[in-house]
Amino acid sequence: MKKQILIVSCILLMLSLIQFSCTNFNKDKNAIDSDAMKGKYELDLTPLIASLVKDEGALVGLVLSSIKANVSFYENNRGVLELNGKIVDLTAIFSDEPIDKIHQFGYKIENDSVFYLKKNEKEGFKQRAIVRKLGDNYEYLEFSFILEERDDISLNLVKIGE
């Protein structure tokens, strides 16, 4: 009887060690952790501008280059996109309807790096980008957006605050 208890205890200990090692030691260091991603980031629109200039012309590039965009990621997989700049203000002046400079969204990350976006509560999540860290921490992120109507575009985010 003592021998059986010892064998069962050893088996349980081994199973616990296997489970611990699978969850902690095999975690991919490149996997994106949405909790660690929290903070405010400046969005570099240069690749988008370059792509649009190539397709649409220099005027579009000039207009877009005046836009400043920040993205904030919060707890509970919520986020905010903030747009500023002279062209946004000019558009607001001449528009018949108010221009929203702040856009709230929901997000989730699955399969270590697939970014899903939900624009409002009525919509479901849609796959939008692949996220990767440009370094060992979350100071620099790259979002490779998956677009149907044009070539995929990668945008860099630089952390500017918590």
Contact 141, 156 (CB under 8 A): yes
pLDDT for 127? 92
CA distances for 17 relative to 6, 13, 26, 93, 147, angstroms = 16, 6, 13, 64, 43
The pLDDT value recorded for residue 6 is: 46
Q: Residues in the chain, how many? A: 162
The Cα-based distances of 147 to 98, 109, 153 in angstroms read 28, 18, 8
pLDDT at 15: 52
Say whether pTM exceeds 0.85: no
Token pair listed for 38: 């929290």
Across the range 136-146, mean pLDDT stands at 92
Which residues touch 116 (CB under 8 Å, ≥6 apart)? 107, 108, 109, 110, 125, 126, 127, 128
CA separation for the pair 35, 124 (Å, rounded): 21
pLDDT of residue 152: 77
Residue 76's pLDDT is what? 92
pLDDT tens per residue across span 32-81: 998 999 999 999 988 888 887 777 777 777 878 888 999 999 999 999 99
Domain ranges of the chain: 33-161
What is the end-to-end Cα distance of the chain in Å, rounded?
A: 58
Tell me: the pLDDT tens digits for 11-32?
554 555 455 555 444 557 778 9
Q: What sign results for the dihedral spanned by CA atoms 78, 48, 91, 43? A: positive
Domain 33-161 has CATH 2.40.160: no
Per-residue pLDDT of 89-130, as tens digits, reads 888 888 888 888 999 999 999 999 999 999 988 889 999 999
pLDDT at 27: 58
**Euclidean distance between CA atoms 131 and 137, whole angstroms:** 13
